[in-house]
Amino acid sequence: MLARRLNLPLISSGNLFRQHIINKTELGQKVKEILANGNLVSNETTNQIIAKEIENQSDNFILDGYPRNIDQAEFLEIITKIDCAFEISITLEEAVRRLSGRRVCQCGASYHLIFKPSQKLGLCDFCGGQLFQREDDTEEKIKYRYGIYLKETKPLIDFYQKEKILIEINGQPPILEVFEDILYKAKNIFNL
């Protein structure tokens, strides 16, 4: 939503991995198995894919889902300058509620059983395809990934606080309110 509103390219590690999975590349097959088990793709692989995408950008962009740990953040500092990092905090219970209700289509469209249901239950509004729950969106896998977050990703909060570029966002309110808060803070930072 932020990328569309600010007309900036979005570099999403998750989307890049899903493209490889959909295109059935060798990397996609490996990534599919890793993600199905609720694990994260290795730093080396993730860094290579992100570096290639950043190299293709001429100016500003938004990163989503990257970096996920200190090693990735340090790699990112080598290849580009980061202006700010948003920490969007939610409880584990809210994460489970939001992610376990997500449904996706092979065409890339995304829905939610509560927040953004499709017009016809279980079918994509765009292509008519059958919607499905991603393997990593089950409650068990979400809780497992939350444990990984606490161990590997949460230290990034201190990392970016020391860099004086961390912007804290309360992610508990409805998604549109969270988006407006992010947009307001981004506009103030970048004088948009």
- 29, 31, 37, 39 alpha-carbon torsion, rounded to 10°: 170
Task: Give me the pLDDT at residue 33, please.
Answer: 86
Task: Give me the pLDDT at residue 16, please.
Answer: 92
Q: Which two tokens stand for residue 38?
A: 């609720």
Residue 88 near residue 95 (C-beta atoms within 8 A):
no
Q: Could you give the percent of the chain with pLDDT greater than 90?
A: 74
The pLDDT-based confidence of 46 (bands split at 50, 70, 90) is very high
Beta bridge mates, 65: none
What are the CA-CA distances from residue 57 to residues 11, 81, 87, 127, 148 (Å)?
10, 13, 24, 30, 30
Task: Give me the pLDDT at residue 102, please.
Answer: 96
Nearest to 3 by CA among 185, 126, 141, 179: 179
Q: Which two tokens stand for residue 112?
A: 């939610």
Q: Could you give the percent of the chain with pLDDT greater than 70?
A: 99
Task: Give me the pLDDT at residue 192, please.
Answer: 65
Architecture of domain 91-165: 3-Layer(aba) Sandwich (3.40)
Residue 63 has pLDDT above 70, yes or no: yes
Residue 91 near residue 146 (C-beta atoms within 8 A):
no
- Asked if the peptide bond before residue 9 counts as cis, ω within 30 degrees of 0, the response is no
- Asked if the peptide bond before residue 155 counts as cis, ω within 30 degrees of 0, the response is no
The pLDDT-based confidence of 124 (bands split at 50, 70, 90) is very high
Segment 137-179, tens digit of pLDDT = 999 999 998 999 999 999 999 999 999 999 999 999 998 999 9
Segment 68-111, tens digit of pLDDT = 999 999 999 999 999 999 999 999 999 999 999 999 999 989 99
**Rounded distance, CA 175 to CA 11, Å?**
20
CATH class of 1-83: alpha beta
Q: What pTM value is reported for the model?
A: 0.82
Sorted by where each begins, the domain ranges of the chain are: 1-83, 91-165
**Rounded distance, CA 190 to CA 187, Å?**
5
